[in-house]
C-alpha cells in the first residue's frame, strides 16, 4: 500500500498564535516539533496497517518544518514548493492508495480556529467554490479525487473535521483542538499522537470505507482580496470576471483549470 500525507501546522494541537507557526519566531520550535510528531504518528499508523511506501508533503509556509530524521525509513519528504498547481498535495497521483491530511484548519473567516485562512492569509479574505467557503482541505481533497485517490483521514481543528465528515462521511477524523474567539482549547500533545496513530491505522485497514470525494460537474470560484489592486491584476487572467473592487469570479467545468488559475492569482 502506498500512502500520501499532506501536513500543515495551524491544525496541530496547541498552535494558537501566528508566531507559533512562523519559522522566524522564537516560540515556533515547540510547535514544529509537535507537527513532526503528529506526522510521524500518522506514518506509524499507516505502517501498522500495511503501508510499504509513504510520501509526505510539508505543506506549511516555507515547506521546511518537519524534522526529517524523525520519520520512518519508508517515507519520502517533499520540502519547499515546486509551484506545481497541486501545491499542498504536490506529487499526488493515481499510484497512491489513500490520502491523509494532518494538522489542517478551517476556512478563511471561520470562527473554528483563530488562525483560520485559505491559502494566503495576508492577501485573501476568502475563496468560495459554488458559493461554499473553501478550506485548504476542500481544495486539495478535490485534487485527490481528480486523480482517483480516496481521502481516508484528517486531523486538525474541530471545524475542519466537521467539514470533512460533511463532504464524505467515511473519512475518519481526529479533532485535536477547538477555536474560541482568539483562543484554542487543545487536547494533550501525547493524546493527539496516540489518537492519530490509532485512527490512521483503522482508516487504512478498513478498505471497504475507501471512497473518493464526489467532484462537482461545474465550478464557480469567487476570490475576495483584501487589497483591491490584487483583484484588478487578477481580473486579467483568462476567463476571469471582476464583480466588485475586491472580488473576482472564475467559471470552469475542469478542476484542473481551477487549480492552475489559483496558482497564478493567489
Q: What percent of the chain has pLDDT over 90?
A: 97
- Spatial strand order in the sheet of 132-133: 132-133, 124-129, 219-225, 247-252, 240-242
Distances (CA, A) of 248 to 47, 236, 251: 44, 10, 10
| CA–CA separation, 31 and 15 (whole Å) | 7
**Residue 209, pLDDT score:** 87
pLDDT tens readout for residues 47-82 = 999 999 999 999 999 999 999 999 999 999 999 999
Give residue-wise pLDDT tens across range 196-213: 999 999 999 998 889 989
136 is known to lie in a ligand binding site: yes
Longest dimension (CA), the chain: 52
CA-to-CA distance for 13 and 101, rounded, in angstroms? 14
Helices (H), 78-135: none
Q: Is 60 annotated as a binding residue?
A: yes
Q: What is the pTM of this model?
A: 0.97
**Residue 8, marked binder:** yes
Cα separation, 61 vs 123, in Å, equals 14
Q: Is 1's pLDDT higher than 90?
A: yes
Q: Please give the domain boundaries of the chain with CATH numbers for all domains.
A: 2-122+135-209 (3.40.50.10780), 219-265 (no CATH)
pLDDT at residue 148 greater than cutoff 90: yes
Average pLDDT, the chain: 97
The full DSSP string for 110-125 is -TT-TT--SS-TTTEE
Catalytic residues: 117
Rounded to whole angstroms, the Cα distance separating 256 from 5 reads 20
**What is the tens place of the pLDDT at every residue in 216-249?**
999 999 999 999 999 999 999 999 999 999 999 9
Res. 190: pLDDT tops 90: yes
DSSP label of 70? G
Q: What is the pLDDT of residue 212?
A: 87
Amino acid at each position: 500500500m502506498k500512502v500520501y500525507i499532506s501536513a500543515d501546522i495551524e491544525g496541530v494541537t496547541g498552535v494558537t498564535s501566528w508566531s507559533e507557526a512562523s519559522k522566524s519566531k522564537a516560540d515556533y520550535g515547540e510547535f514544529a516539533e509537535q507537527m513532526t510528531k503528529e506526522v510521524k504518528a500518522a506514518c506509524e499508523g499507516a505502517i501498522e496497517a500495511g503501508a510499504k511506501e509513504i510520501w509526505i508533503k510539508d505543506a506549511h509556509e516555507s515547506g521546511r518544518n518537519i524534522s526529517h530524521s524523525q520519520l520512518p525509513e519508508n517515507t519520502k519528504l517533499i520540502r519547499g514548493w515546486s509551484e506545481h498547481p497541486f501545491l499542498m498535495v504536490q506529487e499526488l497521483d493515481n499510484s497512491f492508495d489513500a490520502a491523509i491530511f494532518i494538522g489542517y484548519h478551517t476556512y478563511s473567516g471561520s470562527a473554528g480556529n483563530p488562525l483560520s485562512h485559505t491559502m494566503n492569509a495576508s492577501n485573501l479574505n476568502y475563496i468560495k467554490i459554488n458559493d461554499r467557503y473553501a478550506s485548504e482541505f476542500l481544495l486539495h481533497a478535490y485534487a485527490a479525487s481528480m486523480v482517483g485517490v480516496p481521502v481516508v483521514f484528517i486531523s486538525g481543528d474541530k471545524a475542519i473535521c466537521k467539514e470533512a465528515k460533511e463532504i464524505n462521511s467515511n473519512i475518519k477524523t481526529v479533532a485535536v483542538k477547538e477555536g474560541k474567539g482568539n483562543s484554542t482549547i487543545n487536547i494533550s500533545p501525547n493524546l493527539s499522537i496516540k489518537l492519530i496513530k490509532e485512527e490512521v491505522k483503522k482508516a487504512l485497514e478498513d478498505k471497504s470505507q475507501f471512497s473518493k470525494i464526489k467532484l462537482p460537474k461545474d465550478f464557480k470560484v469567487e476570490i475576495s482580496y483584501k487589497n483591491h489592486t490584487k483583484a484588478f491584476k487578477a481580473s486579467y487572467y483568462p476567463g476571469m470576471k471582476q464583480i466588485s473592487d475586491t472580488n473576482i469570479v472564475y467559471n470552469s467545468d475542469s478542476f484542473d483549470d481551477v487549480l492552475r488559475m489559483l496558482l497564478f492569482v493567489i
